[in-house]
Amino acid sequence: MSTTEMIVFYLSGFGTLAMVIGAFGLLDAFNGENRGARRVTWLIGLYALGVVMNVAGLTVLGRWYFAMAMALMLVPVDTALHRRRTARAGE
């Protein structure tokens, strides 16, 4: 196994783990739950970090066309942060 493959393995592995854990923050923001909890913002950031790590891993591997499609997974982050901001302002 080459060094590049090891880098991609670790980036994708940790990125996927971060996405799975951070997805709970997206769900909380979309459902309007836990409005006062600061952990929701951190979880949304963890999801975004996971997506970026996966995109970086695919780009290092030379599969930029898959990375480009995966980068679209960042669109719900903006929506979740906007809903979170408006939900907190309405408290």
pTM of the model: 0.87
Q: What pLDDT, in 10s, does the model give residues 41-80?
A: 899 999 999 999 999 999 999 999 999 999 999 999 998 8
Break the chain into its structural domains and give their ranges.
3-84
Q: What pLDDT, in 10s, does the model give residues 5-51?
A: 999 999 999 999 999 999 998 888 888 877 667 888 899 999 999 99
Q: Minimal CA–CA distance to 76: which of 47, 46, 36, 50?
A: 47
**Phi, psi dihedrals of residue 33, rounded to the nearest 5°:** -90, 160
Residue corresponding to tokens 């929506």: 79
CB 82 within 8 A of CB 29: no
CB 43 within 8 A of CB 28: yes
Count of other CB atoms within 10 angstroms of residue 41: 17
Residue corresponding to tokens 């679209």: 72
